[in-house]
Amino acid sequence: MTTPFHDRDTGQRLLARIGEKLHALGATERAPIRLMEVCGGHTHAIFRHGLAGVMPPGMEFLHGPGCPVCVLPMGRIDDCVAIAEDPRVILATFGDAMRVPGSRKSLLQAKADGADIRMVYSPLDALTLARRNPDREVVFFGLGFETTMPSTALTVLRAEREGIANFSLFCNHITITPTIKAVLDSPGMAVDGFIGPGHVSMVIGLRPYRFIAERYDRPLVVAGFEPLDVLQSVWMLLDQIGRGVALIENQYGRIVPEDGNPQAQAAIAEVFETRAFFEWRGLGSIDESGVAIRDRYARFDAERRFAVRSPTVADPDGCRCGDVLKGGIKPWQCGLFGGACTPETPVGALMVSSEGACAAHHQYGGLRKGAA
C-alpha cells in the first residue's frame, strides 16, 4: 500500500530538484557531493529502497559507523564469550549480536558449545530471567547508541529498587557525537554533509550536533527513515551547501523534538558516566565515545563481577570493515565481500546486522559493482 512517505510522484519531483541542485553545484560522477549517513537504519533504507541507484549523477552516499553491532571490537566479543562460558551465568543478548565474530568464536558458536545464552528483546527480559533464576548470575549484554541506553539505565534502576542481586550489565553502550568527530578528523576524509540519526536524536535532540557546523563547517540534517524522508534530507543538505551555510536542521520534526527526551537523558546521566576512551572495530580507540556504569551502581557491573580483559584484537587479514565504516571504500571493494564473507558466514561485523553496510549491500543486489 502506498503511503505519503512512499509516493512515487513526490519522489520523482524530489529527485528532479536534487538533480538541479547538483547541476548548480557543478557536481559530477568524478567530483561528487559526498553525504554520510551515520545511522544503520538509514543505510538499510538507502539499500532497501534503491535510493543510491536512482540518484542523479554527482551525489554519493557514504555509509558511516552507525550500526552499533558492526563496531563491536573482537576483544569485547571475546570478553562476552568468556562471561557466557562461566557455568554460573545466563547471558542475555539481542539476536543481532549473536553472530558477531570474536577471535575464538561468536556467541552463537558458544551457545552451540553449551553456554547458556538466551536471546531477548529488551533488558527487562533479562531482568525477568534473573527473577526466575535466583541461583544463577544473569548478565545482559548491553549495546547500542543513545537510542537503547535509556531502557538499559531504567532496567538497572529497577533492579536496584527490587533488590535483585543476581543481575548485571556488560556495558558496551557507545555515543554518536565523538564518532562523527573521529570521522571528520580522519586524514583525507572528505564528507560534505551528514544525514543525522533519527532514533538517537529522539533522545539527545539537536544541540549535541552543533559542533559539526560550528567547528567543521559541515551541515547535518536529522532524517526519518522512509524513502521520501531520505530524499528530502538530501535536498536540504544540498540546499545548505548551495547557499554556503552549515546548519543543524531537523527533517524528522514529526518525531524528534529539538531538545530530545529529558527523562531519557536523566536516566542515562543517573546510571552511566563517560569512559575516557572506547575501542571500535575498524576505527580504533575513540576518546569519550563509550559509557560505563557509575560507582554507585557497581554491583550491577559485569566488568567488576567477572574477569574482563578487553584485549585489542586486530580484524582478520583482508577484512576492510574499518575502511567501509569511514567511507573510504564501498563494501564490494573489500576482497572478502560476497566470497569468504557473506551473511551466512560473516568474517567482518558489517556483514552481520541488517543495518551493516555490507549485509545490506549483499541483500539488496550489492553483489553487482556499482549497485550503490
pLDDT at position 299 is: 97
Our CA dihedral for 211, 215, 217, 218, rounded to 10 degrees, sits at -40
Same-domain check for residues 123 and 219: no
Same-domain check for residues 170 and 264: yes
Which residues partner with 36 through β-bridges?
A: 62, 194
Element at 16 (helix H, strand E): helix 8-25
The answer to whether the CB of 278 falls within 8 A of the CB of 225 is no
Same-domain check for residues 170 and 183: no
Same-domain check for residues 147 and 294: yes
Same-domain check for residues 9 and 156: no
249, part of any domain: no
Average pLDDT across the chain, whole number:
91
pLDDT greater than 50 at residue 256:
yes
pLDDT digits (tens, 9 = 90+) for 35-50: 999 998 898 899 889 9
Task: Identify residue 101 by its one-letter amino acid code.
Answer: P
- Residue 69's alpha-carbon distances to 3, 54, 76, 97, 142, in angstroms, are 31, 28, 11, 6, 11
Average pLDDT over residues 23-32: 96
Same-domain check for residues 79 and 57: no
Average pLDDT over residues 193-221: 97
| CATH number of the domain where residue 52 is located | 3.40.50.11750
| CATH number of the domain where residue 87 is located | 3.40.50.11740
312, part of any domain: no
CB atoms within 10 A of CB 308: 17
The answer to whether the CB of 59 falls within 8 A of the CB of 25 is no
To which residue does cell 575464538 refer? 104
Same-domain check for residues 171 and 195: no
pLDDT greater than 70 at residue 355:
yes
Same-domain check for residues 220 and 358: no
Q: What domain count does the chain have?
A: 3
Choose the weakest-confidence range: 69-73, 152-156, 170-174, 228-232. 69-73
250, part of any domain: no
369, part of any domain: no
pLDDT greater than 50 at residue 369:
no
pLDDT at position 67 is: 81
Higher pLDDT, 260 or 343: 260
245, part of any domain: no
pLDDT digits (tens, 9 = 90+) for 137-166: 999 999 999 999 999 999 999 999 999 999
Boundaries of domain holding 190: 4-61+178-203+211-236
**Angle (CA) 53 54 55, round 5°:** 95
84, part of any domain: yes
- Closest to 36 (Cα-Cα) out of 192, 156, 144, 152: 192
Q: Residue 20 — pLDDT band, cuts 50, 70, 90?
A: very high
Q: Residue 370 — pLDDT band, cuts 50, 70, 90?
A: very low
pLDDT at position 371 is: 42
pLDDT at position 311 is: 64
The answer to whether the CB of 137 falls within 8 A of the CB of 305 is yes
Same-domain check for residues 166 and 269: yes
85, part of any domain: yes
pLDDT at position 46 is: 92
Same-domain check for residues 82 and 54: no
pLDDT digits (tens, 9 = 90+) for 59-109: 999 988 878 888 888 889 999 999 999 999 999 999 989 988 888 899 999
pLDDT greater than 80 at residue 207:
yes
pLDDT digits (tens, 9 = 90+) for 298-353: 999 999 999 777 666 677 788 888 788 777 788 888 888 888 888 888 887 788 77
The answer to whether the CB of 151 falls within 8 A of the CB of 124 is yes
pTM, two decimal places: 0.89
Choose the weakest-confidence range: 55-64, 198-207, 284-293, 311-320. 311-320
242, part of any domain: no
Same-domain check for residues 40 and 125: no
Same-domain check for residues 164 and 267: yes
- Residue 180's alpha-carbon distances to 33, 218, 327, in angstroms, are 18, 11, 12
